[in-house]
Amino acid sequence: MLSSPPRNTTRRRPVPSVVSESLKVDIWSDIACPWCYIGKRKFEAGSGLFLGAGDGRSVEVEYHSYELNPETPVDFEGSESEYLALHKGIDAEQANQMLDRVTTIAAQAGLDYDFPAVKHTNTVLGHRLLHYAKAHGKQVEMKERLLKAHFVEGGHVGHVADLADYAAEVGLDRDEVVRALSADDYLDEVRQDEALAREYGINGVPFFVIDGKYGVSGAQESATFAQVLEQVWGERSVEPSEEQAEVGA
Protein backbone atom coordinates (compact mmCIF):
# COMPACT_ATOMS: atom_id res chain seq x y z
CA MET A 1 0.00 0.00 0.00
CA LEU A 2 1.13 3.51 -0.70
CA SER A 3 1.45 5.90 2.20
CA SER A 4 -0.25 8.64 0.20
CA PRO A 5 -3.90 8.68 -0.89
CA PRO A 6 -4.84 6.75 -4.04
CA ARG A 7 -5.59 8.80 -7.13
CA ASN A 8 -8.35 8.66 -9.71
CA THR A 9 -7.75 6.94 -13.02
CA THR A 10 -7.71 9.19 -16.08
CA ARG A 11 -5.53 7.60 -18.76
CA ARG A 12 -5.73 4.35 -20.68
CA ARG A 13 -2.59 2.46 -21.71
CA PRO A 14 -1.89 -0.62 -23.84
CA VAL A 15 -3.27 -3.93 -22.56
CA PRO A 16 -0.56 -6.56 -21.89
CA SER A 17 -0.60 -9.92 -23.61
CA VAL A 18 0.23 -11.63 -20.29
CA VAL A 19 0.70 -10.32 -16.76
CA SER A 20 1.21 -13.00 -14.12
CA GLU A 21 0.53 -11.06 -10.93
CA SER A 22 -3.08 -10.44 -9.86
CA LEU A 23 -4.48 -6.96 -9.64
CA LYS A 24 -4.96 -6.26 -5.93
CA VAL A 25 -8.22 -4.58 -4.98
CA ASP A 26 -8.59 -3.35 -1.39
CA ILE A 27 -12.19 -2.55 -0.44
CA TRP A 28 -13.24 -0.52 2.57
CA SER A 29 -16.84 -1.19 3.53
CA ASP A 30 -19.22 -1.70 6.43
CA ILE A 31 -21.50 -4.66 7.03
CA ALA A 32 -24.41 -2.30 7.79
CA CYS A 33 -23.92 -0.26 4.60
CA PRO A 34 -26.56 -1.01 1.94
CA TRP A 35 -24.49 0.66 -0.78
CA CYS A 36 -21.54 -1.59 0.10
CA TYR A 37 -23.51 -4.72 -0.82
CA ILE A 38 -24.73 -3.07 -4.03
CA GLY A 39 -21.17 -1.93 -4.76
CA LYS A 40 -19.90 -5.45 -4.14
CA ARG A 41 -22.29 -6.86 -6.74
CA LYS A 42 -21.43 -4.17 -9.28
CA PHE A 43 -17.72 -4.65 -8.72
CA GLU A 44 -18.10 -8.40 -9.15
CA ALA A 45 -19.91 -7.83 -12.45
CA GLY A 46 -17.25 -5.35 -13.58
CA SER A 47 -14.36 -7.61 -12.63
CA GLY A 48 -16.13 -10.41 -14.48
CA LEU A 49 -16.14 -8.29 -17.63
CA PHE A 50 -12.46 -7.52 -17.12
CA LEU A 51 -11.49 -11.14 -16.49
CA GLY A 52 -13.49 -12.27 -19.50
CA ALA A 53 -10.96 -10.63 -21.82
CA GLY A 54 -8.37 -13.28 -20.91
CA ASP A 55 -4.65 -12.44 -21.24
CA GLY A 56 -3.81 -14.16 -17.95
CA ARG A 57 -5.88 -11.69 -15.93
CA SER A 58 -6.71 -12.24 -12.28
CA VAL A 59 -8.03 -10.11 -9.44
CA GLU A 60 -7.35 -10.50 -5.72
CA VAL A 61 -9.82 -8.87 -3.34
CA GLU A 62 -9.23 -7.95 0.30
CA TYR A 63 -11.86 -6.32 2.51
CA HIS A 64 -11.01 -3.69 5.10
CA SER A 65 -12.96 -2.48 8.12
CA TYR A 66 -14.95 0.75 8.17
CA GLU A 67 -17.62 1.59 10.73
CA LEU A 68 -20.19 4.10 9.53
CA ASN A 69 -21.37 4.72 13.09
CA PRO A 70 -19.20 3.16 15.83
CA GLU A 71 -21.61 4.51 18.45
CA THR A 72 -24.49 2.31 17.30
CA PRO A 73 -25.68 0.02 20.12
CA VAL A 74 -25.51 -3.73 19.64
CA ASP A 75 -29.29 -3.96 20.04
CA PHE A 76 -30.81 -0.84 18.52
CA GLU A 77 -34.40 -0.58 19.69
CA GLY A 78 -36.23 0.44 16.56
CA SER A 79 -36.66 -0.21 12.87
CA GLU A 80 -34.19 0.59 10.11
CA SER A 81 -36.31 3.54 9.04
CA GLU A 82 -36.34 4.84 12.62
CA TYR A 83 -32.57 4.49 12.80
CA LEU A 84 -32.14 6.30 9.50
CA ALA A 85 -34.47 9.12 10.53
CA LEU A 86 -32.60 9.55 13.81
CA HIS A 87 -29.15 9.33 12.21
CA LYS A 88 -29.93 11.66 9.31
CA GLY A 89 -32.18 14.05 11.20
CA ILE A 90 -35.09 13.51 8.80
CA ASP A 91 -38.72 12.53 9.27
CA ALA A 92 -40.08 8.99 8.95
CA GLU A 93 -41.58 9.58 5.51
CA GLN A 94 -38.28 10.76 4.08
CA ALA A 95 -36.49 7.82 5.66
CA ASN A 96 -38.93 5.34 4.13
CA GLN A 97 -38.59 7.00 0.72
CA MET A 98 -34.80 6.66 0.93
CA LEU A 99 -35.06 2.99 1.87
CA ASP A 100 -37.54 2.32 -0.95
CA ARG A 101 -35.11 3.89 -3.42
CA VAL A 102 -32.20 1.79 -2.15
CA THR A 103 -34.37 -1.34 -2.27
CA THR A 104 -35.14 -0.66 -5.94
CA ILE A 105 -31.48 -0.12 -6.81
CA ALA A 106 -30.48 -3.24 -4.89
CA ALA A 107 -33.06 -5.27 -6.83
CA GLN A 108 -31.48 -4.08 -10.07
CA ALA A 109 -28.22 -5.55 -8.80
CA GLY A 110 -29.94 -8.85 -7.98
CA LEU A 111 -30.30 -8.25 -4.23
CA ASP A 112 -33.60 -8.68 -2.40
CA TYR A 113 -33.30 -6.21 0.49
CA ASP A 114 -35.77 -6.56 3.36
CA PHE A 115 -35.36 -3.36 5.37
CA PRO A 116 -38.39 -4.00 7.65
CA ALA A 117 -36.59 -7.12 8.91
CA VAL A 118 -33.14 -5.53 9.33
CA LYS A 119 -31.72 -5.58 12.87
CA HIS A 120 -29.51 -2.54 13.09
CA THR A 121 -26.46 -3.17 15.25
CA ASN A 122 -22.87 -2.25 16.01
CA THR A 123 -20.59 -3.91 13.46
CA VAL A 124 -17.20 -4.07 15.19
CA LEU A 125 -17.65 -7.77 16.08
CA GLY A 126 -18.50 -8.52 12.47
CA HIS A 127 -15.36 -6.72 11.29
CA ARG A 128 -13.27 -8.71 13.74
CA LEU A 129 -14.83 -11.89 12.35
CA LEU A 130 -13.88 -10.80 8.82
CA HIS A 131 -10.25 -10.48 9.92
CA TYR A 132 -10.45 -13.91 11.53
CA ALA A 133 -11.88 -15.26 8.28
CA LYS A 134 -9.10 -13.61 6.28
CA ALA A 135 -6.51 -15.33 8.46
CA HIS A 136 -8.20 -18.64 7.59
CA GLY A 137 -8.66 -18.02 3.86
CA LYS A 138 -12.42 -17.38 4.01
CA GLN A 139 -12.81 -13.60 4.05
CA VAL A 140 -14.65 -13.17 0.75
CA GLU A 141 -17.15 -15.90 1.64
CA MET A 142 -17.61 -14.47 5.14
CA LYS A 143 -18.24 -10.97 3.80
CA GLU A 144 -20.96 -12.21 1.48
CA ARG A 145 -22.57 -14.26 4.24
CA LEU A 146 -22.75 -11.35 6.68
CA LEU A 147 -24.15 -8.92 4.12
CA LYS A 148 -26.81 -11.39 3.04
CA ALA A 149 -27.73 -12.16 6.65
CA HIS A 150 -28.09 -8.47 7.48
CA PHE A 151 -29.89 -7.08 4.44
CA VAL A 152 -31.77 -10.06 3.01
CA GLU A 153 -32.48 -12.47 5.86
CA GLY A 154 -33.02 -10.13 8.82
CA GLY A 155 -30.27 -11.89 10.77
CA HIS A 156 -28.36 -10.36 13.66
CA VAL A 157 -24.69 -9.58 12.91
CA GLY A 158 -23.78 -8.09 16.28
CA HIS A 159 -23.98 -11.10 18.61
CA VAL A 160 -21.18 -13.61 19.07
CA ALA A 161 -23.46 -16.66 18.82
CA ASP A 162 -25.08 -15.53 15.56
CA LEU A 163 -21.75 -14.57 14.02
CA ALA A 164 -20.31 -17.95 14.99
CA ASP A 165 -23.21 -19.68 13.26
CA TYR A 166 -22.58 -17.73 10.06
CA ALA A 167 -18.87 -18.51 10.32
CA ALA A 168 -19.59 -22.23 10.61
CA GLU A 169 -21.71 -22.03 7.45
CA VAL A 170 -18.67 -20.92 5.42
CA GLY A 171 -16.46 -23.63 6.89
CA LEU A 172 -14.85 -21.95 9.89
CA ASP A 173 -14.51 -23.56 13.32
CA ARG A 174 -17.47 -22.31 15.35
CA ASP A 175 -15.87 -22.86 18.75
CA GLU A 176 -12.71 -21.05 17.71
CA VAL A 177 -14.75 -18.13 16.40
CA VAL A 178 -16.61 -17.90 19.72
CA ARG A 179 -13.29 -17.90 21.58
CA ALA A 180 -11.77 -15.22 19.31
CA LEU A 181 -14.79 -12.91 19.43
CA SER A 182 -15.23 -13.35 23.18
CA ALA A 183 -11.67 -12.06 23.61
CA ASP A 184 -10.17 -9.05 21.83
CA ASP A 185 -8.74 -10.98 18.89
CA TYR A 186 -8.39 -8.93 15.67
CA LEU A 187 -9.55 -5.67 17.24
CA ASP A 188 -6.15 -4.12 16.49
CA GLU A 189 -6.51 -5.13 12.84
CA VAL A 190 -9.90 -3.40 12.66
CA ARG A 191 -8.42 -0.21 14.11
CA GLN A 192 -5.48 -0.36 11.70
CA ASP A 193 -7.87 -0.57 8.74
CA GLU A 194 -9.79 2.43 10.04
CA ALA A 195 -6.58 4.40 10.60
CA LEU A 196 -5.46 3.70 7.04
CA ALA A 197 -8.87 4.84 5.78
CA ARG A 198 -8.36 8.16 7.59
CA GLU A 199 -4.87 8.44 6.13
CA TYR A 200 -6.28 7.95 2.66
CA GLY A 201 -9.01 10.51 3.33
CA ILE A 202 -11.79 7.92 2.97
CA ASN A 203 -14.94 9.37 4.50
CA GLY A 204 -17.55 7.16 2.87
CA VAL A 205 -17.92 3.59 1.72
CA PRO A 206 -17.69 1.53 -0.33
CA PHE A 207 -14.23 2.68 -1.39
CA PHE A 208 -12.04 0.64 -3.73
CA VAL A 209 -8.26 1.00 -3.99
CA ILE A 210 -6.92 -0.58 -7.19
CA ASP A 211 -3.33 -1.81 -7.20
CA GLY A 212 -2.52 0.44 -4.24
CA LYS A 213 -2.72 3.54 -6.46
CA TYR A 214 -6.17 4.37 -7.75
CA GLY A 215 -9.29 5.13 -5.73
CA VAL A 216 -12.86 4.51 -6.82
CA SER A 217 -15.56 5.80 -4.51
CA GLY A 218 -19.10 4.51 -4.27
CA ALA A 219 -21.23 1.82 -5.89
CA GLN A 220 -20.20 2.65 -9.45
CA GLU A 221 -21.63 0.88 -12.49
CA SER A 222 -20.02 -2.41 -13.49
CA ALA A 223 -18.69 -0.88 -16.72
CA THR A 224 -16.83 1.75 -14.68
CA PHE A 225 -15.12 -0.91 -12.58
CA ALA A 226 -14.22 -2.87 -15.70
CA GLN A 227 -12.74 0.26 -17.28
CA VAL A 228 -10.62 1.09 -14.23
CA LEU A 229 -9.30 -2.47 -13.97
CA GLU A 230 -8.52 -2.41 -17.69
CA GLN A 231 -6.66 0.86 -17.35
CA VAL A 232 -4.53 -0.28 -14.43
CA TRP A 233 -3.82 -3.59 -16.17
CA GLY A 234 -2.66 -1.67 -19.21
CA GLU A 235 -0.41 0.60 -17.19
CA ARG A 236 1.31 -2.41 -15.69
CA SER A 237 2.33 -3.66 -19.10
CA VAL A 238 4.28 -0.59 -20.18
CA GLU A 239 7.98 -1.39 -20.29
CA PRO A 240 10.38 1.18 -18.74
CA SER A 241 11.52 2.33 -22.17
CA GLU A 242 7.89 2.87 -23.25
CA GLU A 243 7.11 4.71 -20.03
CA GLN A 244 10.11 7.01 -20.45
CA ALA A 245 9.19 7.67 -24.07
CA GLU A 246 5.65 8.58 -23.08
CA VAL A 247 6.82 10.94 -20.34
CA GLY A 248 9.25 12.62 -22.70
CA ALA A 249 6.67 13.01 -25.48
Residue 19 has pLDDT above 80, yes or no: no
What does the mean pLDDT of the chain come to? 89
Domain of 165 in residue numbering reads as 122-201
Confidence of residue 241 (pLDDT cuts 50, 70, 90): very low
Distances (CA, A) of 150 to 37, 94, 118, 141, 146: 10, 22, 6, 14, 6
Query: Backbone dihedral region of 114: left (phi > 0), alpha (psi from -120 to 50 degrees) or beta?
Result: beta
Question: How much is the pLDDT for 55?
Answer: 84
40-67: average pLDDT: 96
Q: Which of 231, 192, 193 is nearest to 26 (CA)?
A: 193
Residue 104 lies inside a defined structural domain of this protein: no
Pairing of strands 23-29, 207-210: antiparallel
Question: How much is the pLDDT for 7?
Answer: 53
Residue 1 lies inside a defined structural domain of this protein: no
Question: How much is the pLDDT for 161?
Answer: 98
Q: In terms of pLDDT, which residue wins out, 142 or 4? A: 142
Q: What is the pLDDT of residues 58-96, one digit of tens each?
A: 999 999 999 999 999 999 999 999 999 999 999 999 999
Residue 150 lies inside a defined structural domain of this protein: yes
How many structural domains compose the chain?
1
Q: Are 60 and 24 in contact (CB under 8 A)?
A: yes
Residue 73 lies inside a defined structural domain of this protein: no
CATH number of the domain that 178 lies in? 3.40.30.10
Question: How much is the pLDDT for 236?
Answer: 84
Instruction: Say whether pTM exceeds 0.85.
Output: yes
Residue 135 lies inside a defined structural domain of this protein: yes
Q: What is the pLDDT of residues 137-168, one digit of tens each?
A: 999 999 999 999 999 999 999 999 999 999 99
Residue 129 lies inside a defined structural domain of this protein: yes
Residue 8 has pLDDT above 80, yes or no: no
Residue 245 has pLDDT above 50, yes or no: no
Residue 182 lies inside a defined structural domain of this protein: yes
Q: Which of 12, 16, 14 is nearest to 58 (CA)?
A: 16
Confidence of residue 238 (pLDDT cuts 50, 70, 90): low
Q: Which of 31, 188, 23 is nearest to 122 (CA)?
A: 31
Confidence of residue 246 (pLDDT cuts 50, 70, 90): very low
Question: How much is the pLDDT for 71?
Answer: 95
3-state secondary structure of 209: strand
Round to whole Å and give the CA distance between 166 and 162: 6
Q: Residue 44 contacts by C-beta under 8 Å, 6 or more apart in sequence? A: none
Question: How much is the pLDDT for 12?
Answer: 30
Q: How many CA atoms lie less than 13 Å away from 66 in the CB half-sphere? A: 23
Residue 156 lies inside a defined structural domain of this protein: yes
Confidence of residue 1 (pLDDT cuts 50, 70, 90): very low
Round to whole Å and give the CA distance between 246 and 240: 10
13-40: average pLDDT: 79
Q: Are 55 and 15 in contact (CB under 8 A)?
A: yes
